[in-house]
Structure 1
Amino acid sequence: MSEAFGFREFGGPQVQMFFDRPDPVPGPAEVLVRVTVASVNPLDFKLRAGAMPQFYGDRPFPHVLGAEAAGVVLAVGAEVEGLDVGDAVFGCSLAGAGTYARTTVLDAANTARKPDGLRDDWAATIPVAVTSALNAVDQLDLPVGATVLVNGVGGGVGLVTAQVARDRGLHVIGTGGAAKRALAEAVGVTFVDYTDGDVADQVRGLAPDGVDGVVDLVGGASLRAVAPLSREAGKVVSVTDPTVSELGGEMVRRRVDRSDLERAAALMVQGRLDPQVGKTYPLSQAADALALVEHGHALGKVVIDMTGTA
């Protein structure tokens, strides 16, 4: 049996709970891992709220929270290639097994060996947050010297998106609250504080002719305010809001395969990308970790260290 944190039914934080479960048995294309670090994402509370019940397939409640982790392989499925028992790895749990747990199963196709020199807490941020940023910037496909607006730059995905864009020679304007300014400016963002007045007007003051593309991490009214700033409607990519299509933009085309994981890890090892890990919590404080992200107060990435104690 191993300890896990999850929820007994779909709903708000009140449905969250700790429980013990047997170590999952890896399927033919899965690996069983001892989790060292799990990363916390907005996806986690959205799944808990029931946004995508199909994510959990026919798994019975309680469900385990979390979708990305770093750890050590304990067992491999019969069809797994390129991963062995004892390997330090990072990857996704896309079949609903969850990662806020001492042990879990990861999808082998979406799991990679962790290179020497890469910290576990950094590696754990790659499968969901970092690949989202890579996919979004890839999709915009802007030329060197172009200007991209990152709407919601202060969170974990936003800060990585800004760094990926800067690494490709783009000028980055980012929106966020005042508390996010220092982190954003530290990675080279021209920051726009949404509490200082109309965001669109502020961006036009920096880019009178508009921007070359927009990566949206907020959605809703905020997306609708900034989407017209793109000189080309098709150069608006949202990570969060499928109604972006009504504005001529697209949802990010997600690809979480081993090659993308390895590409992101290489950027970190080369010193070109810092996931900006902020708060680290032990598993016993998983509820606090998720609440920080759910309330929008996180500065950078929030992770759960399974080796830590309160």
Structure 2
Amino acid sequence: MPKAYVFTRYGGPEVEAFAEVDRPVPGPGQILVAVRAAGVNPVDWKQRTGYRRPGESGEREFPVVFGNEVAGVVEATGDGVAGFAVGDEVFGNTVVGGYAEYALLPVAVAAHKPAELSFARAAALPVAAATAYDGVHQLGLPAGSTLLVTGAGGGVGAAVVQIARAVGLSVVGVASEGKKDFVEALGAVHVPSGPGWAERVRAAAPDGVDAVYDLVGGEVLADAARLLTDPARLITAGAPAEEAERYGGARVARERTAAVLEAVAHLVVNGELEPHITRTFPLDRAGEALRTVEDGHARGKVVIEVAR
């Protein structure tokens, strides 16, 4: 039976385990993919604690396979699927689970993998890069505007900086001192996180910032809101919608479409976006991969590779 990395109930790392699971069967509008690579994201461990995305409902059936983005090869297609065939190389968001040998993808959020992209780089795009893309386009800032990004050194943050630069924005990126070189290499002005960071932003951008893309939440979000004259130009992917709305902002509105996946892949192929995969792990070290992200010190993206 295929192997997968799962959580058996809600809780901490102690509820994680490897398990043998049935090979999924694609339903209508779904494709079965032999996984070659799976991206690792903060939402993965948050779901283990019981977190649900906005609009997500229904009870999870345990064990639950970790993972929300994969790249691989189509093994089978469900009823009504057009545009995908067995043998196609694809990437996208999973129905359930990605840290596994097989995963189901809904065709609405699946796309063909460009030949120029490795499976690992493609697997790093559906969550972080697509979230970044959605938020930057949601803000719709004119070229020359200044965007403040909190949490600029993580997977989503790194993508936000690059996509913002690609559309002509200036970027100020808040991240730990240890990520200074990384953030500056992305094209942003680095501001060290920690106490007093907002004053350091004012010094780095004396003319002010035009918008905020927050990836941290909490007090950081509150301080970031005070840097804006127009609170409607505050968006977050690091806090619940009600927290952003408290300051006049909004949660990032996710498109979750194949068109967005194709757009971010095009940016990578054109050299305007690099997923910045900083660590890869085999499937049998999935727990270690997840700890790397859960500990909050990862820069760029972490990817699990599945041997075939």
Q: Provide, for residues 178-236 of structure 1, a one-character-per-residue CA deviation record: whole Å limited to 9, x for no partner.
A: 121111111111000124x4011001112234200000000011111111112210000
> Is the alpha carbon distance of 1:59 and 1:237 closer, same or farther for their aligned partners in structure 2, counting shifts above 3 Å?
closer
* Unaligned residue ranges in structure 2 (runs of 5+): none
* Aligned counterpart, 2:214: 216
* Aligned counterpart, 2:201: 203
Is residue 185 from structure 1 mapped to residue 184 from structure 2 by the alignment?
yes
Q: Distance in 2 between matches of 1:3 and 1:127?
A: 23
Q: Distance in 2 between matches of 1:20 and 1:174?
A: 42
* Aligned counterpart, 1:297: 297
Superposed counterparts of 1:107-122, under 5 Å: 107-122=106-121
Counting aligned pairs with the same residue, the percent is: 44
SS at match of 1:142: coil
* Unaligned residue ranges in structure 1 (runs of 5+): none
Q: Is the 8 A contact 1:235 1:249 kept in 2?
A: yes
Q: Is the 8 A contact 1:5 1:101 kept in 2?
A: yes
Q: Distance in 1 between matches of 2:249 and 2:114?
A: 36
Of 215-224 and 202-211, deviating more is: 202-211
Q: Distance in 2 between matches of 1:52 and 1:161?
A: 23
What is the TM-score when the length of structure 1 is the normalising length?
Answer: 0.95
SS at match of 1:229: coil
What is the TM-score when the length of structure 2 is the normalising length?
Answer: 0.96
* Aligned counterpart, 1:15: 15
Q: Distance in 2 between matches of 1:60 and 1:132?
A: 27
* Aligned counterpart, 2:282: 282
Superposed counterparts of 1:1-310, under 5 Å: 1-52=1-52, 57=58, 60-93=61-94, 95=95, 97-195=96-194, 197-242=195-240, 243-307=243-307
SS at match of 2:238: coil
Q: Distance in 2 between matches of 1:6 and 1:247?
A: 37
Q: Is the 8 A contact 2:30 2:106 kept in 1?
A: yes
Q: Is the 8 A contact 2:191 2:204 kept in 1?
A: no
- What displacement does 1:273 show? 0.6
Of 136-145 and 203-212, deviating more is: 203-212
Q: Is the 8 A contact 2:176 2:193 kept in 1?
A: yes
Q: Match for 1:222: what amino acid?
A: V
- What displacement does 1:81 show? 1.4
Q: Provide, for residues 9-32 of structure 1, a one-character-per-residue CA deviation record: whole Å limited to 9, x for no partner.
A: 011111000000111000111100
- What displacement does 1:58 show? 5.2
Q: Match for 1:73: what amino acid?
A: V
RMSD between aligned alpha carbons? 1.4
- What displacement does 1:60 show? 2.3
Q: Distance in 1 between matches of 2:191 and 2:267?
A: 27
SS at match of 1:288: helix
Q: Distance in 2 between matches of 1:58 and 1:32?
A: 23
Q: Provide, for residues 137-163 of structure 1, a one-character-per-residue CA deviation record: whole Å limited to 9, x for no partner.
A: 001110110000000000010000000
Q: Match for 1:239: what amino acid?
A: A
Q: Match for 2:238: what amino acid?
A: T
Q: Is the 8 A contact 1:199 1:226 kept in 2?
A: no
Q: Distance in 2 between matches of 1:79 and 1:15?
A: 37
SS at match of 1:166: helix
Q: Distance in 1 between matches of 2:274 and 2:248?
A: 32
> Is the alpha carbon distance of 1:103 and 1:169 closer, same or farther for their aligned partners in structure 2, counting shifts above 3 Å?
same
Q: Is the 8 A contact 2:132 2:157 kept in 1?
A: yes
